[in-house]
Chains A and B, each alone.
Chain A
Amino acid sequence: MIRFDDVTKTYDRTARPALDGVDLEVSRGEFVFLVGASGSGKSTFLRLVLKEEDATSGAVQVAGKDLRRLSSWKVPHLRRQIGVVFQDFRLLPGKTVFQNVAFALQVIGRSRGSIAAAVPEVLELVGLEGKGDRLPHELSGGEQQRVAIARAIVNSPAILLADEPTGNLDPTTSLGITRLLERINGRGTTVVMATHDDDIVDSMRKRVVELVDGHVVRDEHQGGYVTGAIPVVPAPEVSVDHRGAAAVDVPADGRPVAEQGGGAR
Chain B
Amino acid sequence: MLSEIGIGLRRNLAMTISVVLVTFVSLTFVGAGALMQQQVSTMKGDWYDRVQVAIFLCTQDSLSASCSGAATDADKAAIEQALASPPLSQYVSEVEFETSDEAYAQFQEQDAELSASVTPDQLPESFRVGLEDPERFGVISESFQGSPGVEQVVDQREVLEPFFAVLNAATAGSLALAGVMLVAAVLLIGTTIRLAAFNRRRETGIMRLVGASSTFLQLPFLLEGVIAVCLGAGMAGAVLLLAVDRGVTGWLAEQVPAFDYITTTDVWATIPWLFVGGIVLASVASLVSLSRYLKV
**In the complex, what residue of chain B is closest to A109 when comparing beta carbons?**
B216
The reply to whether the CB of A72 lies closer than 8 angstroms to some CB of chain B is yes
CB neighbors of A among B215-232 (8 A): 216-217
CB neighbors of B among A85-120 (8 A): 90, 92-94, 103-104, 107-109
Whether the pair B213, A90 counts as a contact (CB closer than 8 A) is: no
- What count of chain B residues pass the 8 Å CB interface test? 18
Whether the pair A108, B211 counts as a contact (CB closer than 8 A) is: yes
Whether the pair A92, B210 counts as a contact (CB closer than 8 A) is: no
**In the complex, what residue of chain B is closest to A78 when comparing beta carbons?**
B211
* Nearest CB on B from A45, distance (A): 16
**Contacting residues, chain A, for B209 (C-beta < 8 A):** 50, 79, 84
* Nearest CB on B from A82, distance (A): 8
Q: Please tell me which stretch of B32-40, B97-105, B200-208, B242-250 contacts chain A, meaning at least 4 of its Cβ atoms lie within 8 angstroms of it.
A: B200-208
The reply to whether the CB of A13 lies closer than 8 angstroms to some CB of chain B is no
CB contact between B213 and one of A76, A82, A94, A155 (< 8 Å): that residue? A76
The reply to whether the CB of B258 lies closer than 8 angstroms to some CB of chain A is no
Whether the pair A73, B208 counts as a contact (CB closer than 8 A) is: no
CA distance A116 to B242 in the complex (A): 52
Whether the pair B1, A137 counts as a contact (CB closer than 8 A) is: yes
CA distance A204 to B154 in the complex (A): 104
**Contacting residues, chain B, for A83 (C-beta < 8 A):** 210
The reply to whether the CB of A42 lies closer than 8 angstroms to some CB of chain B is no
Whether the pair B211, A80 counts as a contact (CB closer than 8 A) is: yes
**Contacting residues, chain A, for B203 (C-beta < 8 A):** 92
CA distance A42 to B139 in the complex (A): 88
Whether the pair A90, B202 counts as a contact (CB closer than 8 A) is: yes
CA distance A81 to B210 in the complex (A): 9
CA distance A188 to B110 in the complex (A): 94
The reply to whether the CB of A9 lies closer than 8 angstroms to some CB of chain B is no
* Nearest CB on B from A39, distance (A): 22
Whether the pair A73, B214 counts as a contact (CB closer than 8 A) is: yes
Whether the pair A75, B296 counts as a contact (CB closer than 8 A) is: yes
CB contact between A79 and one of B1, B5, B208, B216 (< 8 Å): that residue? B208
Whether the pair B1, A92 counts as a contact (CB closer than 8 A) is: no
**Contacting residues, chain A, for B214 (C-beta < 8 A):** 72-73, 76
* Nearest CB on A from B8, distance (A): 12
Whether the pair B206, A90 counts as a contact (CB closer than 8 A) is: yes
Whether the pair A107, B296 counts as a contact (CB closer than 8 A) is: no
**In the complex, what residue of chain B is closest to A135 when comparing beta carbons?**
B1
* Nearest CB on A from B9, distance (A): 12
CB neighbors of A among B241-283 (8 A): none
**Contacting residues, chain A, for B1 (C-beta < 8 A):** 93-94, 137
Interface residue tally on A, bucketed by range: 20 to 34
The reply to whether the CB of A207 lies closer than 8 angstroms to some CB of chain B is no
The reply to whether the CB of A151 lies closer than 8 angstroms to some CB of chain B is yes
**Contacting residues, chain B, for A79 (C-beta < 8 A):** 208-211
The reply to whether the CB of B17 lies closer than 8 angstroms to some CB of chain A is no
* Nearest CB on B from A38, distance (A): 21
Whether the pair A107, B212 counts as a contact (CB closer than 8 A) is: yes
Given A90-B205, A137-B1: A108 touches B210 (CB 8 Å cut-off): yes
**In the complex, what residue of chain B is closest to A80 when comparing beta carbons?**
B211
CA distance A81 to B211 in the complex (A): 8
**Contacting residues, chain A, for B208 (C-beta < 8 A):** 79
* Nearest CB on B from A171, distance (A): 27
Q: Which of B2, B217, B296 counts the most chain A CB atoms within 10 A? A: B296
**In the complex, what residue of chain A is closest to B203 when comparing beta carbons?**
A92
CB contact between B206 and one of A73, A77, A104, A109 (< 8 Å): that residue? A104
**Contacting residues, chain B, for A81 (C-beta < 8 A):** 211
**In the complex, what residue of chain A is closest to B216 when comparing beta carbons?**
A107
CB contact between A103 and one of B2, B5, B206, B211 (< 8 Å): that residue? B206
**Contacting residues, chain A, for B216 (C-beta < 8 A):** 107-109
**Contacting residues, chain B, for A76 (C-beta < 8 A):** 211-214, 296
Whether the pair A92, B211 counts as a contact (CB closer than 8 A) is: no
**Contacting residues, chain B, for A72 (C-beta < 8 A):** 214, 296
Whether the pair B205, A107 counts as a contact (CB closer than 8 A) is: no
Whether the pair B212, A108 counts as a contact (CB closer than 8 A) is: yes
CB contact between A94 and one of B5, B210, B211 (< 8 Å): that residue? B5
CB neighbors of A among B38-79 (8 A): none
CA distance A73 to B209 in the complex (A): 14
* Nearest CB on B from A1, distance (A): 17
* Nearest CB on B from A85, distance (A): 10
**Contacting residues, chain B, for A80 (C-beta < 8 A):** 210-211
Whether the pair B206, A92 counts as a contact (CB closer than 8 A) is: yes
CA distance A94 to B200 in the complex (A): 12
CA distance A80 to B217 in the complex (A): 14
**In the complex, what residue of chain A is closest to B207 when comparing beta carbons?**
A107
* Nearest CB on B from A106, distance (A): 9
Whether the pair A92, B213 counts as a contact (CB closer than 8 A) is: no
Some 20 contacts from A to B, beta carbons below 8 A apart, are A73-B296, A75-B296, A76-B214, A76-B296, A77-B211, A78-B211, A79-B211, A81-B211, A82-B211, A84-B209, A90-B205, A90-B206, A92-B203, A94-B1, A107-B206, A107-B207, A108-B211, A109-B216, A137-B1, A155-B211
Residues of chain A having any CB pair with chain B under 8 Å:
50, 72-73, 75-84, 90, 92-94, 103-104, 107-109, 137, 151-152, 155
